[in-house]
Structure 1
Amino acid sequence: MSPHALNWHTSSYSNASGGECVEVLEHADGAEVRDTRHRDLGRLAFSSSAWAGFLTSVKRGEL
């Protein structure tokens, strides 16, 4: 399946023009993150445990 056909979610911090934000695709193996303006330049992939650790740190205000 093409990465463009998947259900990516735009950051809630995105401004009205769509600038300066990222999109996230969560799946069974973890998550992927890409730049909203430059989707074709690739994405970063994170394992489930790394993504869960990141989200926990964000929720605690550590990042």
Structure 2
Amino acid sequence: MSTEALQWFKSTYSGSEGGQCLEVAVSAQAVHIRDSKNTPEDGPTLLVGPAAWAAFTATR
């Protein structure tokens, strides 16, 4: 899947002033994570499986 086709959204924990934001896009196979300063063309994208993302975001 091309990262351009994904629907990216900014983390709700990101501030409105920009700079240090996390963006996430969800596909059937993976959760895609990137720094909001980067676009798919110029920055890395981290891919994790749905189970790993659920464990990462679980409230403890």
Q: Give TM-score, length-normalised by structure 2.
A: 0.76
- Displacement over 3 Å in runs of 4+: none
Point out where structure 2 has 5 or more consecutive residues left out of the alignment: none
**Cα RMSD between the aligned structures?**
1.7
CA distance in 2, matches of 1:32, 1:51: 10
Of structures 1 and 2, the one scoring higher in RCO (CA 8 A, sep 6+) is 2
Measured after TM superposition, the shift of residue 30 of structure 1 is: 2.4
> Which of 1 and 2 has greater Rg?
1
Task: State, as a whole percentage, how many aligned pairs show the same letter.
Answer: 40
Higher helix content, 1 or 2: 1
Could you tell me which residue of structure 2 aligns to residue 14 of structure 1? 14
Could you tell me which residue of structure 2 aligns to residue 32 of structure 1? 32
